[in-house]
Structure formats: C-alpha cells, structure tokens
Amino acid sequence: DAEITQSPRHKITETGRQVTLACHQTWNHNNMFWYRQDLGHGLRLIHYSYGVQDTNKGEVSDGYSVSRSNTEDLPLTLESAASSQTSVYFCASSEQPQETQYFGPGTRLLVL
C-alpha cells in the first residue's frame, strides 16, 4: 500500500543547531507539502513543491528550507533551530494541488 512516512518521529535539539526532518512518500505524487501545527493555530504551510526541482515558500517559511531532488522525498531543514520552532511538523502529498492531501504521522520537535 502507498504511504507517506516521516522521520524521526520525535526530536530534541538545541538552539542554533541545524536539523533536517525527512519525508518520504510512495504515492508517486508530484505535490508535497510541509506544515507546522501549534495549539490555537491551524495547520500552517511552511514550504511546498509541485514537482522535482520545484520549491515554493509558504506562509511561515522563515528559518526553513526544502529541496526536491526526486519525486518521493521532500526533506525540511531548519537552518539554525530556534525555540519558536518547537512544534509538530506534518508532511503531506497530493495528486493535484487542490485535491485531497495525505498526511504523514508527524514529527514532534523540541528546541531547547
């Protein structure tokens, strides 16, 4: 069965460190998305990609970057982790940008 996975599931890091969160999907979807979810807020879009070598900034992209070298993977990098980036991060993919998004299990990140 097709799926979308994220790793690690939990991560503790220190302020200033670089962190990379992995996202891998076997749906063969061109469209992939990274969100963060915080209490009191909806899912907020960080970056998204509509295909290989395509990346776009979302609503809350400052301090984050992504790269898309193949269809299956969209890693999210925090260049220099800050306490404000403590959150739950979800990766998602869809067949078309406006169609149903399928979510990974999430990564809980704590920045100390």
Partner 1 sequence: GQNIDQPTEMTATEGAIVQINCTYQTSGFNGLFWYQQHAGEAPTFLSYNVLDGLEEKGRFSSFLSRSKGYSYLLLKELQMKDSASYLCAVVDSNYQLIWGAGTKLIIKP
Residues in contact with partner 1 by the rule CB under 8 A = 40-45, 48, 58, 90, 96-98, 100-106
- Characterize 30-59 residue by residue with b for buried, 16 or more Cβ atoms within 10 angstroms of its Cβ, and e for exposed: bbbbbbbeeeeeebebbbbbeeeeebeebe
Q: Minimum distance between the CB of residue 99 and partner 1, rounded to whole angstroms?
A: 8
| Shorter beta-carbon distance to partner 1: residue 78 or 91 | 91
CA distance 31 to 57: 14
Torsion of CA 81, 87, 88, 93, to 10 degrees: -60
| Shorter beta-carbon distance to partner 1: residue 79 or 99 | 99
Q: Minimum distance between the CB of residue 31 and partner 1, rounded to whole angstroms?
A: 10
Q: Minimum distance between the CB of residue 18 and partner 1, rounded to whole angstroms?
A: 25
Q: Minimum distance between the CB of residue 106 and partner 1, rounded to whole angstroms?
A: 6
| Shorter beta-carbon distance to partner 1: residue 3 or 14 | 3
